Amino acid sequence: MSDKFRIGVFSSGNGSNFEAIVKADIPNVEVSFLLCNIEDAYALERAKNFSIDSILLPHKNFESRKDFEKEIISRIQDYDVDLIILAGFKRILSPFFINYFEKKIINLHPSLLPSFPGLRAPQQALEYGVKFTGCTVHFVDDGVDTGPIILQGLVEILDSDDEESLMKKIHEKEHEILPVAIELVSEGKVKTTEGRRVFIDN
């Protein structure tokens, strides 16, 4: 068994953040697998290109969310990962799953939480008229985009930005901060408190 810090990545789409994690070559971190719930997601091709195990589990093949999540657990438990990263995974996980992997799941969200949680966060930011937005890496709890914040990246919104251009800038920032957040967690430098605050050891 490897003594590296093992991670698994869940994705439903393009997989650019998955690739950013792999290419970052984070010290002492091993990307054990990619799990995807969409059959034609390009993330699966990226995993193949990097010779990383991929697990395809279309959620539509299951009668309930709990059945889907039980199968996920069954398929990934042998990897014995230390951390699960939700990087563009378009399914809300139940308390059952979150509690099974308590404090072992982090999510990447395209806004500066707690502002603009949920879907189409860049569009929400544009509609509200804020001058800055960004992205957030946070622990996953029972809420939607409500867990303790680990790291955030700032993106300026220009007058010329639309949803597409803003999302591109946010993606670039995501590719920067997600590997950093994973490295901090893997080194034991991320300390949670009884409340919502997270402290980073230097």
d(CA 97, CA 127): 34
Measured distance CA(178)–CA(151) in Å, rounded: 8
| Cα 15 from Cα 198, distance rounded (Å) | 27
Burial of 39-66, coded b for 16+ CB within 10 Å and e otherwise, reads eebbbbebbeeeebebbebebeebeeee
Task: Tally the residues of the chain.
Answer: 202
Q: What are the phi and psi torsion angles at 199 (to 5°)?
A: -110, 140
109 is catalytic: yes
Which one of 109, 138, 171, 175 is the catalytic residue?
A: 109
Catalytic residues: 109
